[in-house]
Amino acid sequence: EDQVTQSPEALRLQEGESSSLNCSYTVSGLRGLFWYRQDPGKGPEFLFTLYSAGEEKEKERLKATLTKKESFLHITAPKPEDSATYLCAVHDGIQGAQKLVFGQGTRLTINP
Amino acid sequence: DTGVSQNPRHKITKRGQNVTFRCDPISEHNRLYWYRQTLGQGPEFLTYFQNEAQLEKSRLLSDRFSAERPKGSFSTLEIQRTEQGDSAMYLCASSPGTSGGELFFGEGSRLTVL
């Protein structure tokens, strides 16, 4: 069964303190790994797509990387506005399926 | 605003009542998805439409749940005989045919079943 596990569940950092969030996945035939950001009371907002091991994507203070079993979301010198829940997801392993399987998320808090 | 629109944003109902949520996707998007999210969890897939055809449906979706997209534009999600376990945020998303996993989510409809 396809699984996505994120760690830690919650992370509290000081402004400027860099760290990484982890997303481990088990899927037969990866067709993409996706990172989303979700603010309280809002729907998720798309950040990145990664397709193959070794691929990296960057956006402002965020960088996503991918290996054959996990993805990392690195956050460099974060600011309080980076506080949110970060979700990762993969496509269901069934060929052609559009279903995304999400992890439970990492709740990130950046203190000023 | 040209994003995904969901109504109502909040719904409180008594157990056993029926509820219906509406989703208006981004106009040029032919794909539409419904997800459910409970507190502290990631979104859980419910169903997927391409145009007016419902192509995927979670086996977790009981027969109390039904979704339609009659003209390939807006969609409705109906829950019959609501139970307390149905309390959740119901998220709608849309995407163009070439987007892969880049979904555009609405702000959700929060359901509370008393």
- Sort out which chain B residues have CB atoms less than 8 A from A90's CB and list them: 101
Q: What is the structure's pLDDT at A91?
A: 86
Residue in A31, A44, A98 nearest the CB of B43? A44
Q: What is the pLDDT of residues B28-57, one digit of tens each?
A: 899 999 999 999 999 999 999 999 999 989
3-class DSSP assignment, residue A40 = coil
Q: What whole-number distance in Å separates Cα of residue A14 and Cα of residue B109?
A: 33
Residue in B41, B48, B107 nearest the CB of A98? B48
Contact between A68 and A23 under an 8 Å Cβ cutoff? The reply is: no
Confidence of residue B1 (pLDDT cuts 50, 70, 90): low
Check whether A1 has a pLDDT greater than 80: no
CA atoms within 13 A on the CB side of A84: 20
Check whether A75 has a pLDDT greater than 80: yes
Q: What is the pLDDT of residues B69-99, one digit of tens each?
A: 998 899 999 999 999 999 999 999 999 877 6
Q: What whole-number distance in Å separates Cα of residue A39 and Cα of residue A44?
A: 7
Token pair listed for B46? 């419910």
Spatial CB neighbours of B15, under 8 Å, sequence gap ≥ 6: B82, B83, B84, B113, B114
Token pair listed for B34? 């419904």
Q: What is the structure's pLDDT at A111?
A: 97
3-class DSSP assignment, residue B86 = helix
Q: What is the structure's pLDDT at B99?
A: 65
Token pair listed for B8? 């109502």
Q: Which of residues 86-105 of B touch A (CB under 8 A)?
A: 91, 93, 100-105
AA letter at B114: L
